[in-house]
A and B are shown apart, each in its own frame.
Chain A
Amino acid sequence: MEIIDNLVQNYFYLVAIILFIIGMHTMLTHSNLVKKVIAMNIMDTSVFLLFVAVGYVHGGAPPLVEIPAGTETYINPLPSVLILTGIIVALSVTAFALSLVTKIYEYYGTCDADEIADLRSEE
């Protein structure tokens, strides 16, 4: 029962892990290149979710200079800040991946990895 209690209390970890697995599975098994890029984003986002959740303190105030009255503690700002950087990194990887997909479409006339493999084996 202990494990179920833990899961209920920390359900956001579970959600993050499920999202991570969905993203990774789609990214590696799906043949559509655009869907691969989307799955990559889902995977990254799941990690961002986990990271931000780690920094949350129950009942904490936003980490501003003046803490609002009635709250004694504030949430950990560092994970949020790191994730800002993480989002930028994910954005640039996505942009680059999409530009590659458009180029691949120009050359092969398709966005499907299986069809591309067929085209290449015909050569």
Chain B
Amino acid sequence: MDLISHFPVILVINLFIFAFAMPLISRRSNNWATIAASFSLILSFAISITLLLKVLDTGAISYYLGGWPPPFGIEFYIDYLSAYMLIVLTGMGLLIFYYGTASLPFEIGRHMVGWYYTLYLLLIGAMLGIAITNDLFNLFVFMEISAIAACAIISIKKDRECLEASFKYLILSAMGTGCYLLAVALIYMITGVLNFDMVREVLVDNIALYPNNVLVALALIGVCFCVKAALFPLHVWLPDAHASAPSPSSAVLSGLVIKIYAIALIHLMFRAFPLELFYQVPLTEIFLWLGAIAMILGSIFAMTQDIFKRMLAYSSVAQIGYVFLGIGLFNPTALLGGLLHILNHAIMKSMLFMIAGIIIYTKGLKKVREFDGMGSQLRWTMTAFIVGSASMVGIPITGGFISKWYLATGAFEADRPFFIGVIIASSLLNAIYYFPIAIRAFLGEPKPENLPVRPVLKHMLIPVVILTVLVFYIGMSPQEVVGILELAIDKLFAQ
């Protein structure tokens, strides 16, 4: 029974241990490495479910690393939001991994697969750490681990575009973490503690004495998370990085990595700063407008793209706008929409990148205008594509509709009907660039040179089918997810 109390740390550490064992195991054979990595991911998924059940049962869990209580030690804190994020990360991580086992030997070469698993497990582990840590400096360390791992799973492909994209990403994300560390120094100057809850307690009393420190720290944190989450004016690294990477990397980067920083931002805003501060400082207002601009401009950029993966990458810029719209409106309903959109977008964007990977694998086609008549050859894949794009647009009974509905309701509750217009406009723009591809694939005349090179692998298709089912599941019965999120948001706003 004692083991269960150590689950929060085992969750993260098990991935790190397996990550570093991976090159050794893959020297023996890639299959062994695949089995070991799957075991580690399944273990983390199982632990996440246990933790979610425990949190639902008994409330939030605190875990002190090494038994040292804060302020001396690092605290892991799992509330409803963290538990929700753990499930999303490990569940999606497992599906993308399963897809990767089939597509990686083709994309990066058989001998690199073991190394890729190392980076992948490190990335998932670091993201889990970001989701559950309750310490400002520990958050910095996890952010750097995930930044390096995220850059490395782009540059592992032997391709010069990937290297350049990866370098650009590394430099911008180093700028982001530099800003974050400076913000931590400024906060530490006032508070002398690094634990989120303790920082908030000190700030509540002392904020009037040191307003400049807090303001500058907030601004720096805002910049850091805008870069990391690719919010509109600082999204420049995203299209190159996500479009050139191997498909499983694109799926995990677009689906999970940019979202986890939005979650870290929400954790910081609600747990490390007093809530009243955000009614005085226009930080949420800035996020709101940047999110709205991202939703429109991201979609317009996506329309002009020729290469399928690049189009999906720009679409991610637009979709992260929805999440920040939810944060920016700063009321429970909109935040629920934003958080739900994290899950929905993770599902549909990962699925679309997997589909892009399948098309490249079977036909070697990258450009949208070569997709004529694809539907008759890749029937399952392109049907899944229609489901994914319907969810992107927000057609009812798909998941995308539910999160957009909550966002629009939130905008209405905040008395900002303008943003309902933005949501509708962005959805229409999504329809303009997603549906023509489906029409082209199913109604276009197949070209003779478009014949499949290889058949679809079963391992690549199964995750796509599972994700398609999930899109409908969330679209038709969102009560369970919404229930968890309502608890999470009550707790955040109750503070």
Contacts and interface: CB of A to CB of B under 8 A. Distances in A.
Interface of A: 20, 23-24, 27-28, 33, 36, 40, 43-44, 47, 50-51, 54, 76, 79, 82, 85-86, 89, 92-93, 96-97, 100-101, 103-104, 107-108, 116, 120
Interface stretch (B109-117, B170-178, B283-291, B459-467): B170-178
A51 B185 contact: yes
Given A79-B188, A93-B170, 15 more contacts: A20-B182, A24-B175, A36-B171, A40-B175, A47-B181, A54-B188, A89-B141, A93-B144, A96-B151, A97-B167, A97-B170, A97-B174, A101-B167, A107-B160, A108-B164
**Size bin of chain B's contact surface:** 20 to 34
Contacts of B140: 86, 89
Interface in B149-207: 151-152, 155, 160-161, 163-164, 166-167, 170-171, 174-175, 178, 181-182, 185, 188-189, 192
Given A50-B185, A54-B188, A89-B144, A100 B167 contact: yes
A23 B177 CA distance: 13
Interface of B: 137, 140-141, 144, 147-148, 151-152, 155, 160-161, 163-164, 166-167, 170-171, 174-175, 178, 181-182, 185, 188-189, 192
A50 B163 CA distance: 33
Contacts, number: 79
The 9 closest A-B pairs by CB, nearest first: A107-B160, A89-B144, A47-B181, A43-B178, A51-B185, A100-B167, A50-B185, A40-B174, A47-B182
Contacts of A97: 167, 170-171, 174
Contacts of B161: 120
A103 B171 contact: no
Contact of B147 (A50, A85, A93, A120): A93
Interface secondary structure of B, over-half rule: helix
Contact of A47 (B164, B178, B189, B192): B178
B160 A85 contact: no
